[in-house]
Amino acid sequence: GVFGIFSDTEDVAKLAYFALYALQHRGQESAGITTFDPSGTFTRKDMGLVSQVFNEHNLGDLPGIIAVGHNRYSTTGSSKIANAQPIVLSTRLGDLALAHNGNLVNALELRTGLVARGYTLESSSDSEAIAYLIKEAVDAGKDWREGITETLHQCQGAFSLVIGTPEAVIAARDANGVRPLVIGMISKCSPDRPNCSPDSPPSYVFASETCGLDIIGAEYLRDVAPGELVWLDHNGLNSQFWTEERSPKLCIFEMIYFARPDTYMQGESLYTYRLELGRYLAREHPIEADLVFGVPDSGIPAAIGYSQASGISYSEGLIKNRYVGRTFIQPTQAMRETGIRMKLNPLKDVLEGKRVVVIDDSIVRGTTSRKIVRALREAGAKEVHMRISSPPVTHPCFYGIDTDSQDHLIAATKSVESIAKIIEVDSLAYLSSEAMLEATKSNPQHFCSACFSGEYPIPVPDKLKRAKLV
Ligand code: 5GP
Ligand code: SF4
Ligand code: MG
C-alpha cells in the first residue's frame, strides 16, 4: 500500500501513519514513512505492522511538508528489512523517496542493466530498480519530470508509485492501471488544525485506496488514471499522461478480494460489487439449504447477496479472531497451515443439524476451505455446500498479488468435482467469468482477470513464466 501528502498545514507524518494504518491489509511485512523538510529527509521503516513500527514519539521525529508512506508484502524480493520502503536515494537534485505497489515483469533485466552500469543494489526488490533508474536519469542532467517519465517507459508490469522529492510528491500508474491509486483532498479546517484558516488552499494526498482517505478526513477526488503522472507541490495539483499507449486493466482481484470493502474503485463501491457477486452466484448456482453465511471477513458481502437473491436466511456461522492477520499474507506454507485454526471458530448452536451454504471469495490452494469444511461438520452441520464468488483460480499473478506458482493452485489441474471431493463438501460451485465482469459498473473490458483466464494483458517474459507456470 502507498501514500503521499504535500501540505504546509497538516502533520504529514501523522496523516501518513493513519492512512497506512487503514491500508494495513495491503501489506503486513514492513512499514515505512519518509518526510521532507528544507533540511533534508527523515525516514523510519522497519519490519512489522504500522502499529509496531510507529509510535507517538518516533512520528515526532518526522517533520516536514511532504510525506511518503508504504506497507509492504513481498512479490519480487524477499521479506527482509533491506526491502522495506520508502526507498531513499540521494541525487543531484536532492533526495528521492519511492514507494511502489505492484510488480515489474522485467525487474531482472532492469537490475542487471543497473549493475552493469556500476550501481550497487542493496535489496532484491523490483522497486529499488525503479528508484535507481530515476536517480541515474536525474544525475545525468534530467529534471525530475523527465527523469521519472524516462524511467517509467523502461518499466514493464504493474506499478502504482508515490515519489517524494524536495519540492513535490509525484504519483504515477502504469499504462494499464493494474494496481489502484487515488487522489484525495483535505479542505476542512478544524480546531486541531491550528495553522489552517477557512480560506487556506486545500491539501492533496495520494493513497492506494479510498479507505486511506476516509481515515484522515480527505475527500475522494478521483483515481489516478492508467498512464497518468500527477504532481503535487506549492502550485497545487497538476497532471499529464506519461504515455500515449494506455489501456485500462484494473486487477479484478482487487475488486473481489484484496481491497477493503469500504473502498471505492473507479467510483464504484466494492462492498456493493461484492454483494452483487453473491446475488449472481445465487442465480447461477442455487441450492436448497437452511442458512447461508460467509467465511469472515472476505466472504461476507457475497454471502449477504446470496441470501438476498436466494431467500435463504443469513446467519453467522464462523467467528473470526480479529487480532490474527490474514493467513495468506504470511510468507511460509507452514504458517498458513496453522493460521486458520487460530483464526476461525464455528458457532455450534447455529450449525447443529443444518444444511448450510458457505460463501468464500476464492479458493486458491484449497487448504483453507478443507479446514473450514471439517470444522463445520465437527460443529454439527448436516450438509455443507460451498459457493465461491469468483471463477476458479487457474493461473498465477505476475502483477503484484502473491498467488503461488501454478502447481499449488488447486483449480489449475483439478476439475470442480474433484476439488469438491478434496475439500469434502456436498456440493461446490464457482461464479462464472461473465457474471464476475458483468457485475461491475465499469466497462468489463477494462479489467485484468488473468488468474482466471490465463490471458495476461501485459506480456510476461518466458523466464518468469517458467518459474510459476507448469
Ligand atoms: P486457500 O484456498 O488458498 O486455502 O484460501 C483461500 C482463502 O484465502 C480465501 O478465503 C481468500 O479470502 C483468502 N486469501 C487470502 N489472500 C488471498 C489472495 O491473495 N488471493 C486469494 N485468491 N485468496 C486469498
Ligand atoms: Fe489481479 Fe489476477 Fe490480474 Fe494478478 S492476474 S492482476 S491477481 S486479476
Ligand atoms: Mg477469505
pLDDT, tens only, 214-260: 999 999 999 999 999 999 999 999 999 999 999 999 999 999 999 99
C-beta of residue 388 within 8 angstroms of C-beta of residue 429: yes
> Are the CB atoms for 137 and 131 separated by under 8 Å?
no
The bridge status of strand 355-360 relative to strand 236-241 is unpaired
Cell 471431493, located at residue: 421
Place of cell 502483477: 399
Distance CA 411, CA 432 (A): 14
Environment class of 38 (CB within 10 Å of its CB; exposed 0-12, middle 13-18, buried 19+): exposed
pTM, to two decimals = 0.93
Task: Name the residue of 270, 364, 425 whose CB sits within 8 Å of the most ligand 1 atoms, as the mutation to test its pocket.
Answer: 364
Strand partners, 269: 264
Report yes or no: 99 and 69 within 8 Å, Cβ to Cβ: yes
Does residue 362's CB lie within 6 angstroms of at least one atom of ligand 1? Answer: yes
Q: What's the pLDDT score for residue 76?
A: 67
Kindly give the distance from the C-alpha atom of residue 260 to the centroid of ligand 1, in angstroms, as a whole number.
14
Average pLDDT over residues 303-331: 82
Looking at the DSSP assignment, which residues form a beta bridge with residue 400? Answer: none
Task: Give the SS3 label for residue 360.
Answer: strand
Whether 84 is in the pocket of ligand 1, judged by its Cβ within 6 Å, is no
- Return the SS3 of 455: coil
Q: At what angle do helices 367-378 and 416-423 cross, to 10 degrees?
A: 50
Question: How many C-beta neighbours within 10 Å does residue 271 have?
Answer: 16
In sequence order, which residues have a C-beta less than 8 Å from that of residue 338 and are 6 or more positions away?
Answer: none
Q: Is the CB of 393 under 6 A from ligand 2?
A: no
251 touches ligand 2 (CB under 6 Å): yes
Distance 359 CA to ligand 3 centre (A): 9
Rounded to an integer, what distance in angstroms lies between the CA atom of residue 280 and that of residue 306? Answer: 8
What are the boundaries of each domain within the chain? Answer: 2-248, 269-468
Which ligand has its closest atom nearest to the C-alpha of 297?
A: 3
Q: Looking at the CA of residue 298, tell me the nearest atom of ligand 1.
A: 12
pLDDT in tens, 186-220: 985 665 566 666 677 899 999 999 999 999 999 99
Q: Does CATH number 3.30.1280.10 belong to domain 269-468?
A: no
Kind of pairing between the strands at 157-164 and 169-173: antiparallel
Reading the block at residue 396, the C-alpha cell is 498465477
Examine the pLDDT at 82 and tell me if it is beyond 60: yes
- How far apart CA 370 and CA 373 sit, in angstroms, is 5
From the CA of 372, which ligand is nearest? 1
Digit-coded pLDDT (tens) for 10-24: 899 999 999 999 999
H/E run at residue 427 = strand 427-430
Q: Is 263 left (phi over 0), alpha (psi -120 to 50) or beta?
A: beta
Helix (H) or strand (E) holding 270: helix 270-284
Q: How far apart are CA 295 and CA 386, in angstroms?
A: 10
From 74, 362, 403, 410, mutation site for ligand 1 pocket: most ligand atoms within 8 A of C-beta: 362
The dihedral built from the CA positions of residue 462, 463, 465 and 466, taken in this order, carries a sign that is: positive
Q: 360 CB less than 6 Å from ligand 1?
A: yes
**Under a CB-based contact definition with an 8 Å cutoff, are residues 136 and 128 in contact?**
no
Q: Which of 458, 318, 454, 466 is nearest to 386 (CA)?
A: 318
**Residue type, position 182, single letter:** V
pLDDT tens-digit profile of 130-178? 999 999 999 999 999 999 999 999 999 999 999 999 999 999 999 999 9
Distance from Cα 113 to the centre of ligand 1, integer Å: 36
Choice between 123 and 349, residue whose per-residue pLDDT is larger? 349
Interatomic CA distance for residues 51 and 130, integer angstroms: 28
Residues in the chain: 470
C-alpha cell at 297: 471477513
Model pLDDT, residue 234: 92
Assign domain 2-248 to its CATH superfamily. Answer: Aminohydrolase, N-terminal nucleophile (Ntn) domain (3.60.20.10)
List, edge to edge, every strand of the sheet that includes 2-6.
Answer: 40-47, 30-37, 66-72, 2-6, 203-207, 182-186, 219-223
Ligand nearest to the CA of 390: 1
